[in-house]
Every structure is written in structure tokens, then in C-alpha cells.
């Protein structure tokens, strides 16, 4: 991102035209980054709560006063019989930069002895599933998709959430490739694909097994690749044998012919690529679905070609030195770990010790965490000392005892890897911090000094931290020193181009092979093979619940929002004036719902209001509420997370946002 500055003020931003994976294009929301930076709604100064928790009424105080108070409260909790574990950091990826996202903050809470946070809210199930089979979060180079002949876009609305991949997929389409969307929702992306397989949420593993079944029966397996580079083929084939297309069709709610045709295409068109994304893994069987899908490219030898294989995340291609950044060696005692996805339960139930203080940064849990009423109730606890460091007065900020002003990316220094491409980016500050805003690192530096943490690492500057971020000596970052990145802006990792990481095996698994069968998972007491794990909440798996709440509910990302970020900007809200619910004409008619009607979406966990849009974008039996809205900007003050569930995924303890039954009625 290039920023033009005049008299200290950023006046224009644009994509860098020569940055290979993004080629000068900013996505819809980031193109509004100046609106965000110069918004009149920014948190400008440190503030102290004067109203009731949740009211969002504050009075200005100074930085010294704010930090003195936080340090005093933390010290008194740490010295009490409850100890420092009663303090909890809460952060996710408000910024994904390594410096502002996971460095000084971790050092501070480690040294304090605070409870550890398990950061599960997004991708853990998919990561667990993918690494079981492939070994690390690595896959195709996004730039290669333009050379693919068949692309399965699996659980991804790429036009919304992964524009730079979509550009390549469109180029492939122009060159004659076939595009297939596998998604319960006819998203903008699915609409532009040649085929759309609209399966029921949470049934992807069944479809993957169905594809294997047909590939094996039709002799479309690459025997040579399987023999040389994989492990557990016979056992996997035995599982696949249990999934003839008719059974798959019943489980997924699709036609058996769809399974057969898709498998034939996948077994015969080369190069065949899968853009797998996180939409498939927010369900009970999310990790197993990703495991099953991750087996497919090896079965047909698709990895042989740089434009074949699959991509879930590229993040594991970067040699990030998290030990150096986060300093887990500083951890005092053996603190417990709290799962961020069940924060509502943790705030309500833990008592040995209870969570007495929470420090939120880079996240907006009151809007984004599942089972929203529990989360809000937890944050409303009068005895909870709550610090929120934010750019805006989010739903979470309203519960702060102390609210601190944060810088935006234009005002801070950082180093960014990626989970979609293979470049490293320097984030140089373009302008000085506005108002009294400070970056995350500086706040933790100042707090560390107040707490008397005198280890030299608490004095590292942001440049020092950026210098430590990548593992020195790793050949993938040879020559990519921080000083070089700062002046060049970015550089591609030192990996071969074209990139075909598994063309000759070399899987970063314990066996070095693609592990259809995983001894590592077996040793953990898990199924060594992928399997279909049914949703917690679906008509087939939970008919009793479905009798009351018959509709499957999903709430995927909106193009104009980034989770709940950007969701308060007037330009975003001009395009998304109301929370929307897509519902199929058949499901709408029996409920007397017409397009434009105000509806209530509800289950036992809660409910929220949306405006119905009746169309076949939603398949029958599934309703879709693009998200994540700020609760206080939504009619009725609730958003989609009023109904979503914190029940854990099969591996990784992720939340199951898209494993959720609801009923819909006219409001
Ligand atoms: N504009 C925008 N971009 C974003 C984000 C955003 O909020 N807005 N969020 C960012 C973040 S944090 C993430 S994690 C990424 C990834 O975000 P993803 O979770 O990959 O999001 P989407 O691309 O919307 O893909 C989700 C798709 O999966 C579908 N889906 C839901 N359930 C299932 C299922 O069970 N099976 C299958 N096959 N499909 C299902 C949904 O209908 C949706 O079309 O996007 C990032 N990019
Ligand atoms: N219903 C439903 N819920 C979902 C999802 C879904 O698909 N459906 N998606 C889930 C996913 S994939 C994810 S990743 C999570 C995301 O959850 P979060 O990581 O909480 O993401 P955001 O809502 O973007 O909130 C990030 C906050 O950090 C702030 N911020 C940005 N930069 C900085 C900074 O430098 N310093 C500080 N202190 N603050 C900063 C922003 O202003 C913003 O309010 O939401 C999840 N919630
Ligand atoms: Mo995410």
C-alpha cells in the first residue's frame, strides 16, 4: 500500500502496482483506509468510564494516569491470593503484523504470569486438519492459479474475502479453465463459476470421500505419486469405499450426478487446483473436512504441477521467529490457558481463580465471539477490571474501565507476512500518530516499566522487534534484512519460482510423505484417518433440535466489512445499510416472508433482526446473514453472534459459527 503525504497528512493511498500478488489493487474496504484513519469517531485520548458498563460513557484522562491505574490494578491482583493468572490478555488480528500483533504484548503478559490465551477464533480447525495431512501451512503459490485448468473454490467467497486470488482465477477462466464453487451459498463468487455445488453446511468431508470413491473406482488415481509420496492409501481407500455417490448425495443434500461429474473432472483435467478456505472449518467436523480435502491433490498427483495442488494458507512458508518475538521463556509459573472462543463461559464460570482483569487489543469480542449474550454478560461484570486499547469505540470498548487510543497502520511500524501469498512486507509509518494514539508495543513498553520488568527485551524498539521477527539464517529469508525491507517495501521469500513444493514429495510431515494416515494423530488418541464428523446442529444429526429450529444458519464475511472492522465507516454502511438475511423462496413462503420484510432470527441462545432478501442465493434449508455487524449499529442491538455456538470443532478447539440451527419469523 502506497501512501502519499502532504504536510504530515496522508492524502492518497493506492496499491503498489509492482507488488506481484496484489498488482496495484486494494480491496473495497482497505481502499477506505484514509476514511478510517481520519474518522471523526476515533478514540483520541485515554479515557475512564463514567457510566454503567456497556453504556460507553467516558471522561478524558492522561496517559500517565491511565497507565498508573492499570499497573496498580494488575499489581494488586498479581499480589493477591488469586495471583497473576486472574489477569487475561485478549487479542486477535486487528492487525496481523508481527510487531503490533504478537511481540511486546506477549512478552509483557508472559513475564506477568497472566493466563495464556488460546487464539482459536478463526483458523485452528483448518490448520489442524491441513497439517495432519500435509505437515505445515503451505501450499500453492496464489500467483500460479492463473495457469490452472480446473479450480475448485471450496468454502470461499473469494470476491469478498480473497480478491487477489480471484483475479488469478478470472485470468484462468479467460484462458479456458473451469471454475467450480463448493458452497451452501450462491455467493457473488459462486455466481461467476461454471458450476456451483450447493451442499449443506458441515458436510464437506462426505463430498471429499465421495470424490475419492469415484476416483478410485474409475481408476483415476495417480498410482505412481501415491506409491512414492504418500502414506496410508489402502486405509483411506477403505474409508472412501463407504461413500458411494448416493450416500454422499443424501448427506450433502445434492445430486449423486454432481459427485460423479465433479470427480471425473478432478481426475482428468490437469493442472487441477483447490482454493480451500476457512468457510469449511467453522463446523463440528471442520478439521476432518479439511483433512479429507487435503488428501485429494496427492491422490491424483495434482501437486506435480505448480498450477496444481491446493492452497489453504501460506503462513507456514515464513520462518517466523515467535520464540524471539514472544519470549515464552519469560512465562512465570505454569499459567492456565483460556480459549478465546469461549470467553463468555470463561468470564462467567472460572473461579480458581476467576478472571478479574481483561486487557483487550486487536479484537472486538463483544461483536465477533459466539454466543454473544454470554460474552456481553461477562464483560458487564461489575467486578471485572477491563482495559480496551482501540481505534474506535466498538461494542467491546463500551465495557472498558479504561479505554486507550490505538494507532492505525499508517501510524505504526510493522512487518507483515501473509496467509495467501509469498511476500514479506514492511509497514513503514506514513504519518505521526494522530491525537494521543499509541501503538500496542509502546503501551506494553510503558506498562512493563511501571511494573518494574527490567529485562532488556522490554526496551526493544519497534525496529528491533521487526529485526527479530524472521529466523536469521533461514534460507527462505536470506538477504531479507529489515533495513532492506524497509527501503524496498517488500520482497518475495527466497523460494523457487515457479513454486511446486510437493512435486517430489518433501512433505513437512513426520514421515516426509503426504499422510492420509497419521501416526501423530493416532498417538494423540485421535482417528488416524480423516472421517465425516456430523454437525452438532443439523436436520439429520439433531432432529429434536431441528423440530424447533429447522434452518441451518451461516454468517460469512461481508465485502464492505473486515470481520467487525470497517463496519462503522459511513462509506461501508452506505453500501450495507441493514443487516440482511438471504432466504430461499420456499422457506420464505411458508413463513409469510417477502423480500424487504423485517425478520427475527433466533434459537435458544438468542436472536437478532435482519431484512429478508428472498432469492435462490440461499439453498433450501439454509439461511445466510453476511457479517459481522457492530451490535450497537444493528437494529435491536444484536448481531449474528446472538445465535452462533461456541461448541468446539473436532480438532483445535475452534468455534462452530456455521454449525447452527435457527428459526426465522416476521419481526
Ligand atoms: N471483505 C472481507 N474479507 C475478509 C474478511 C472479511 O470479513 N471481509 N475476513 C478475513 C478473515 S479473518 C478470514 S478468516 C478470511 C477467510 O474467510 P472465509 O471464512 O474463507 O470467508 P469467505 O470467503 O466468505 O468464505 C466462506 C464461504 O464459505 C461458505 N460456507 C459456510 N459454511 C460452509 C460449509 O460448511 N462448507 C462449505 N463448503 N462452505 C461453507 C460461506 O457461504 C461463504 O461463502 O477472509 C478474510 N477476508
Ligand atoms: N458470526 C460470525 N462471527 C465471526 C466470523 C464469522 O464468519 N461469522 N468470523 C470470525 C473470524 S474468521 C475472525 S478472524 C474473528 C475476528 O475477530 P477480531 O480479530 O476481533 O476482528 P475485528 O472484528 O476486525 O476486530 C479487530 C479490532 O482491532 C482493532 N485494531 C486494529 N488495529 C489495531 C491496532 O493496531 N491496535 C489495537 N489495539 N487495535 C487495533 C480494530 O479497530 C477492531 O475493532 O471474528 C470471527 N467472528
Ligand atoms: Mo479469520
| pLDDT the model gives residue 103 | 98
What average pLDDT score do residues 284-288 get? 98
| pLDDT the model gives residue 101 | 98
| pLDDT the model gives residue 141 | 98
CATH 2.40.40.20: which residues of the chain?
543-666
Closest to 396 in 3D by CA, of 426, 369, 425: 369
281 Cβ below 6 A of ligand 1: no
Distance 561 CA to ligand 2 centre (A): 10
Q: Summarize pLDDT for 549-576 with one digit per residue, the tens.
A: 999 999 999 999 999 999 999 999 999 9
| pLDDT the model gives residue 576 | 95
| pLDDT the model gives residue 451 | 98
| pLDDT the model gives residue 96 | 96
Q: Summarize pLDDT for 151-210 with one digit per residue, the tens.
A: 999 999 999 999 999 999 999 999 999 999 999 999 999 999 999 999 999 999 999 999
CATH 3.40.50.740: which residues of the chain?
39-122+320-492
CATH 3.40.228.10: which residues of the chain?
126-312
Instruction: Give residue 77's pLDDT band: very low, low, confident or very high (50, 70, 90).
Output: very high
Report d(CA 373, CA 643) in Å as an integer. Answer: 9
| pLDDT the model gives residue 113 | 98
Report d(CA 212, CA 201) in Å as an integer. Answer: 20
> Which bin fits 629, alpha (ψ -120 to 50), beta or left (φ > 0)?
beta
Helix, strand, coil shares, percent, the chain, to 5? 40, 20, 45
Share of the chain above pLDDT 70, in %: 100
User: pTM of the prediction?
Assistant: 0.98
Report d(CA 110, CA 116) in Å as an integer. Answer: 8
Closest to 416 in 3D by CA, of 105, 121, 99, 104: 99
Instruction: Give residue 379's pLDDT band: very low, low, confident or very high (50, 70, 90).
Output: very high
- B/e letters for 169-194, b = 16+ CB within 10 Å, e = fewer, are bbebbeeebbbbbbbbbbbebbebbe
What average pLDDT score do residues 580-592 get? 98
**8: three-class secondary structure by DSSP:** coil
CA distances from 527 to 286, 521, 523, 556, 651 (A): 14, 7, 9, 29, 11
| pLDDT the model gives residue 336 | 98
Instruction: Give residue 123's pLDDT band: very low, low, confident or very high (50, 70, 90).
Output: very high
Distance 124 CA to ligand 3 centre (A): 10
Cβ-Cβ contacts under 8 Å for 483 (sequence gap 6 or more): none
Which residues sit with their C-beta closer than 6 Å to ligand 2?
92-95, 100, 121-122, 361-364, 368, 389-392, 394, 406, 440, 555-557, 562-565, 627-628, 640-641, 644, 657
| pLDDT the model gives residue 634 | 98
Instruction: Give residue 401's pLDDT band: very low, low, confident or very high (50, 70, 90).
Output: very high
CATH class for the domain made up of 39-122+320-492 = alpha beta
Instruction: Give residue 477's pLDDT band: very low, low, confident or very high (50, 70, 90).
Output: very high
What average pLDDT score do residues 615-635 get? 98
Report d(CA 204, CA 286) in Å as an integer. Answer: 9
Report d(CA 309, CA 148) in Å as an integer. Answer: 10
Report d(CA 318, CA 498) in Å as an integer. Answer: 17
Instruction: Give residue 580's pLDDT band: very low, low, confident or very high (50, 70, 90).
Output: very high
**Averaged pLDDT score across all residues of the chain:** 98
- C-beta separation of 78 from 113 below 8 A: yes
What average pLDDT score do residues 392-421 get? 98
What average pLDDT score do residues 105-124 get? 98
Closest to 578 in 3D by CA, of 635, 644, 631, 663: 635
Query: What ligand is nearest to the CA atom of residue 407?
Result: 2
CATH 2.40.40.20 fits 543-666, yes or no: yes
Q: Whose CA is nearest to atom 36 of ligand 1?
A: 280
Pick 126-312's CATH classification: 3.40.228.10, 3.30.70.20, 3.40.30.10, 3.40.50.620: 3.40.228.10
Share of the chain above pLDDT 90, in %: 100
What average pLDDT score do residues 423-442 get? 98
Q: Summarize pLDDT for 23-43 with one digit per residue, the tens.
A: 999 999 999 999 999 999 999
561 Cβ below 6 A of ligand 1: yes
CA angle, corner 501, sides to 500 and 502, nearest 5?
A: 100
| pLDDT the model gives residue 338 | 98
Task: Please identify which residue in the block is written with the cell numbers 461489575.
Answer: 382
418 Cβ below 6 A of ligand 1: no
Distance 592 CA to ligand 2 centre (A): 35
| pLDDT the model gives residue 375 | 98
189 Cβ below 6 A of ligand 1: no
Amino acid at each position: 500500500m502506497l501512501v502519499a503525504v502532504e504536510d504530515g497528512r496522508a492524502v492518497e493511498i493506492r496499491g503498489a502496482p509492482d507488488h506481484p500478488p496484489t498488482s496495484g489493487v486494494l480491496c473495497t474496504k482497505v481502499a477506505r483506509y484514509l476514511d478510517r484513519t481520519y474518522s471523526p469517531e476515533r478514540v483520541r485520548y485515554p479515557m475512564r468510564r463514567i457510566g454503567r458498563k456497556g453504556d460507553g460513557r467516558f471522561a478524558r484522562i492522561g496517559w500517565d494516569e491511565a497507565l498508573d491505574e492499570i499497573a496498580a490494578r494488575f499489581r494488586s491482583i498479581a499480589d493477591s491470593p488469586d495471583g497473576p493468572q486472574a489477569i487475561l490478555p485478549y487479542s486477535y488480528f486487528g492487525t496481523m503484523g508481527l510487531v503490533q500483533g504478537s511481540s511486546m504484548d506477549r512478552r509483557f503478559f508472559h513475564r506477568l504470569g497472566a493466563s495464556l490465551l488460546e487464539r482459536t477464533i478463526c483458523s485452528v480447525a483448518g490448520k489442524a486438519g491441513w497439517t495432519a495431512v500435509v505437515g505445515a501451512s503451505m501450499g500453492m503459490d496464489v500467483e500460479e492459479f492463473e495457469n490452472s485448468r480446473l479450480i475448485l473454490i471450496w468454502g470461499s467467497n473469494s470476491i469478498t474475502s480473497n480478491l487477489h486470488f480471484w483475479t488469478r482465477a478470472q485470468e484462468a477462466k479467460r484462458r479456458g479453465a473451469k471454475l467450480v464453487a463448493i458452497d451452501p451459498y450462491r455467493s457473488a463468487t459462486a455466481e461467476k463459476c461454471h458450476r456451483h455445488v450447493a451442499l449443506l453446511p458441515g458436510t464437506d468431508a462426505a463430498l471429499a470421500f465421495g470424490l475419492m470413491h469415484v476416483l478410485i473406482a474409475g481408476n483415476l488415481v495417480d498410482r505412481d505419486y501415491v506409491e512414492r509420496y504418500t502414506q496410508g492409501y489402502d486405509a483411506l481407500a477403505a474409508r472412501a469405499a463407504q461413500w458411494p455417490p448416493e450416500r454422499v448425495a443424501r448427506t450433502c443434500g445434492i445430486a449423486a450426478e454432481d459427485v460423479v461429474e465433479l470427480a471425473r473432472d478432478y481426475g482428468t483435467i490437469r493442472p487441477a487446483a483447490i482454493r480451500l478456505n476457512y468457510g469449511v472449518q467453522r463446523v463440528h467436523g471442520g478439521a476432518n473436512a479439511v483433512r479429507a480435502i487435503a488428501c485429494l491433490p496427492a491422490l491424483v498427483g495434482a501437486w506435480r504441477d505448480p498450477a496444481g495442488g491446493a492452497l489453504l494458507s501460506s503462513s507456514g512458508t515464513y520462518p517466523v521467529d515467535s520464540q524471539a518475538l514472544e519470549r515464552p521463556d519469560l512465562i512465570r509459573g505454569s499459567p492456565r490457558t483460556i480459549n478465546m472462543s469461549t470467553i463468555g463461559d470463561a468470564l462467567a464460570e472460572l473461579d480458581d481463580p476467576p478472571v478479574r482483569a481483561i486487557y483487550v487489543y486487536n479484537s472486538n469480542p463483544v461483536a465477533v465471539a459466539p454466543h454473544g449474550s454470554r460474552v456481553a454478560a461477562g464483560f458487564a461484570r461489575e467486578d471485572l477490571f477491563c482495559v480496551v486499547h482501540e481505534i474506535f469505540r466498538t461494542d467491546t470498548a463500551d465495557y472498558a474501565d479504561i479505554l486507550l487510543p490505538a494507532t492505525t497502520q499508517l501510524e505504526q511500524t510493522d512487518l507483515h507476512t501473509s496467509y495467501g501469498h509469498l511476500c514479506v512486507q514492511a509497514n513503514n509509518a506514513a504519518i505521526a500518530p494522530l491525537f494521543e494514539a499509541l501503538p500496542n508495543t509502546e503501551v506494553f513498553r510503558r506498562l512493563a516499566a511501571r511494573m518494574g520488568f527490567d529485562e532488556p527485551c522490554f526496551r526493544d524498539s519497534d525496529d528491533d522487534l521487526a529485526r527479530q521477527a524472521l529466523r536469521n539464517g533461514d534460507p527462505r529469508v536470506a538477504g531479507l534484512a529489515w533495513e532492506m525491507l524497509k527501503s524496498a517495501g517488500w520482497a518475495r521469500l527466497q523460494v523457487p519460482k515457479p513454486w511446486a513444493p510437493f512435486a517430489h514429495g518433501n512433505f513437512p510431515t513426520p514421515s516426509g510423505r503426504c499422510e492420509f494416515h497419521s501416526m501423530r494423530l493416532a498417538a494423540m488418541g485421535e482417528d488416524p484417518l480423516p472421517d465425516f464428523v456430523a454437525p452438532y446442529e443439523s436436520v439429520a444429526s439433531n432432529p429434536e433440535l431441528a423440530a424447533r429450529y429447522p434452518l441451518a444458519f451461516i454468517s460469512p464475511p461481508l465485502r464492505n466489512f473486515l470481520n467487525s472492522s470497517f463496519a462503522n465507516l459511513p462509506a461501508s454502511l452506505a453500501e450495507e445499510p441493514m443487516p440482511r438475511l438471504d432466504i430461499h423462496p420456499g422457506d420464505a413462503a411458508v413463513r409469510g416472508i417477502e423480500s424487504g420484510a423485517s425478520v427475527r432470527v433466533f434459537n435458544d441462545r438468542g436472536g437478532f433482526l435482519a431484512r429478508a432478501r428472498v432469492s435462490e442465493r440461499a439453498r433450501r434449508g439454509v439461511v445466510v446473514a453476511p457479517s459481522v455487524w457492530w451490535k450497537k449499529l444493528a437494529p435491536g442491538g444484536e448481531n449474528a453472534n446472538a445465535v452462533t455456538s461456541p461448541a468446539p470443532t473436532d480438532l483445535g478447539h475452534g468455534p462452530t459459527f456455521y454449525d447452527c440451527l435457527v428459526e426465522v419469523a416476521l419481526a
